[in-house]
Structure 1
Amino acid sequence: MNFKEKLKEKTACAEQVIVSFLPKEQGFASHMAEAMNYSMQAGGKRLRPVFMAEMYSLLGGKGELVCPFMAAMEMIHTHSLIHDDLPALDNDEYRRGKKTTHVVFGESAAILAGDALLNYAYETAFQAFELAKDEKELRRVAEALKLLGEKTGIRGMLGGQGADVENDGKPLEKDMLDYIYENKTAALIEASLMIGAVLAGAEDLDKIEQMGSCVGIAFQIQDDILDVTSNQEELGKPVGSDDKNHKTTYVTLEGIEKAGEEVKRRTDLAVELLEGLPGDKEFLRELFLSLCTRRK
């Protein structure tokens, strides 16, 4: 089986896990659940849950302990996309090739759907306690929850989003841009790899965290490049939005050529760190490398 087939298979497995944890569309909150599920089922790479499951497996994890965290991570990621697309932020009408949540359900419903997904993510992750087989696994779940909270809050994703919004349209120095990318994008990828490792029993997470940082920032810089070089049909969302919103990106600071070199440098470092781990690393290696050349 080649890499594309493996990725398709692993993405489909992640999709099944995610769908199994979605809220039921019933009762007086059915419309909110519908808005949440619309966004969750709009497609996407499912990159973060795939990262989590692969690291869990690579380091010897077995069973379903990782599953609630896979779904929770994608809920948190999707919550951030719903809010990013709002008129008060990026004001985008398309995401993953479909109308954005606020366009379909209205702005107030989209705000609440994003809030609900963030909270529901933690409700979902808590279910891992019920799957833990012994005291050791209970401690691993607790550590994974701590990571999930830290990497998605003010010291992680939301901190990065806050800095991004506060500096929207302003010229940025590279250190501020690095902070935004490290937290807004890389923190969730770091968390995905680290949570997979923790649930499998790993204790030393420094290199895995660094690996996630490299992958996450490379991924975001490649997104900057695609915003300039791709088209809406290929990318699934409007292109040129960074320029429209006067955003400072790696492309505006360094130019496309240097931005591309930075993507390669960080991806190569992530692969180097990966080589120090045990197990069959071929799929993760190929996945890291594919981020350099993705077109969407």
Structure 2
Amino acid sequence: MTTLTKSINLSICQNPDPYPDSSKSNLSFSLSTVSSVVTGEESIIHDKFDFMSYMIGKANSVNKALDSAVSLREPIKIHEAMRYSLLAGGKRVRPVLCIAACELVGGEEFLALPAACAVEMIHTMSLIHDDLPFFGEDVAVLAGDALLSFAFEHLATETPEIISPARVVRAIGELAKAIGSEGLVAGQVVDLTSEGMDQNDVGLELLEFIHLHKTAVLLEAATVLGAIFGGGTNEEIERLRKFARCIGLLFQVVDDILDVTKSSEELGKTAGKDLIADKLTYPKLMGLEKSKDFAEKLLSDAQEQLHGFDSNKVKPLLALANYIGKRQN
């Protein structure tokens, strides 16, 4: 491991500030692929843990809760637009992280479900302009605005009363910061302003900043909110924050590596597109081998943050980290 790689990693996974320096994530994957990765003989978890079933079960709970929360009501047009993207499917990675973190620290699914839904509403808001072309740009913007505001309303009004007001307020603050000028918005702005810049002017620090805020920030918020509502201690919450930050960046590093090492057939999408588009990537800045070292260190650091938790309750998070670090497409 090079000194450079260690230095970068320390700034990501060991900085207690949730946003040290911040919208769309490409975190989608095949559940069948996940199952084959996390249940094999070389898995870092017990090979009898059925991660695919876990993901599907939690996603179903989230889908039912979202359908109930954003019902089709007046004004019909705006609620139809909100539901169109929100209920369009997906793996629900962020809400599942929220629920898994809650359960890990001793909570139950129902405690985290409103927060899980709120995070998914905000994620959908960040994608909604792409998802709603036929509704028209005006309705798309309004639908995104409505989902953003409703996410906070839902979090404030639907969180079970058993959770203390102090924890609810803390969670609202975490979520607001995650998507504001120091979070999701910041990541998008920096990404936009870096387009077309000379490679010599865009270093690893800037690349790290962009991906921490475009990919990792909502994963981090989801995990932290789950830990808060599960009754986690400050130490547990911060360890899970670092875990989520690591796996968020790990996904992007692995994505960059696969883009230059796999064929289009193996990836299920066009390979080498980043090179063709002259995009800034980790292999471009660090080289392929150092990028692989960096990915291994991020996975190791993510796993380390989970040491000491209940060996059964930690399996979903370990499985997800292992998948992200070892995936082949």
TM-score range, shorter chain: 0.7 to 0.9
Question: Residue deviations 1:117-163, cap 9 Å, x none?
Answer: 2222112111235x213xx6222111111111111211212211111
Map 1:139-150 → 2, pairs under 5 A? 139-150=166-177
Within the alignment, does 1:189 sit opposite 2:222 as a pair?
no
CA separation of 1:69 and 1:269: change in aligned 2, threshold 3 A = same
Q: TM-score if structure 2 supplies the norm length?
A: 0.74
Counterpart residue number, 1:101? 132
The reply on whether 1:285 has 2:321 as its aligned counterpart is no
CA distance in 2, matches of 1:285, 1:213: 14
Cα displacement (A) at 1:50: 0.4
The separation in 1 between residues aligned to 2:215 and 2:148, in whole angstroms, is 16
Percent of paired sites with the same residue: 35
Instruction: Report whether the alignment pairs 1:19 with 2:46.
Output: no
For 1:233 and 1:34, locate their aligned partners in 2 and report how far apart those are by CA, in whole Å.
37
Structure 1: 5+ residue runs without aligned partners?
A: 86-99
CA distance in 1, matches of 2:245, 2:140: 29
Are 2:278 and 1:249 aligned?
no
Question: How far off is 1:70 after superposition?
Answer: 0.6
Q: Kindly tell me: are residues 13 and 138 of structure 1, through their superposed partners in 2, closer, same or farther at Cα, counting changes over 3 Å?
A: same
Post-superposition CA distance 1:79-114 (Å, at most 9, x none): 11234x4xxxxxxxxxxxxxx322x32333323322
Q: Offset at 1:46?
A: 0.7
Q: Secondary structure at 2:164's aligned position in 1?
A: helix
Q: Equivalent residue of 2:231, what SS?
A: coil
Which structure has more relative contact order (CA 8 Å, sep 6+)? It is: 2
Kindly provide the CA deviation profile for residues 23-62 of structure 1, in whole angstroms up to 9, marking residues without a partner as x. Answer: 233333x222222212112222211110110111111113
In the superposition, the TM-score normalised over structure 1's length comes to: 0.81
Match of 1:275 in 2: 307
1:91 matched residue in structure 2: none
Amino acid at match of 1:55: A
Distance of 1:239 and 1:164 partners within structure 2: 22
What's the secondary structure of 1:127's corresponding residue? helix
Of residues 59-68 and 218-227 in structure 1, the stretch that sits farther from structure 2 once superposed is 218-227
CA distance in 2, matches of 1:223, 1:43: 22
For residues 40 and 214 of structure 1, do their structure 2 counterparts lie closer, same or farther at Cα, with a shift above 3 Å needed? same
Instruction: Give yes or no for contact 1:35–1:109 (8 Å, CA) kept in 2.
Output: yes
Structure 2: gaps of 5 or more residues: 1-48
Task: Determine the C-alpha separation between the residues in 2 that align with 1:69 and 1:154.
Answer: 21
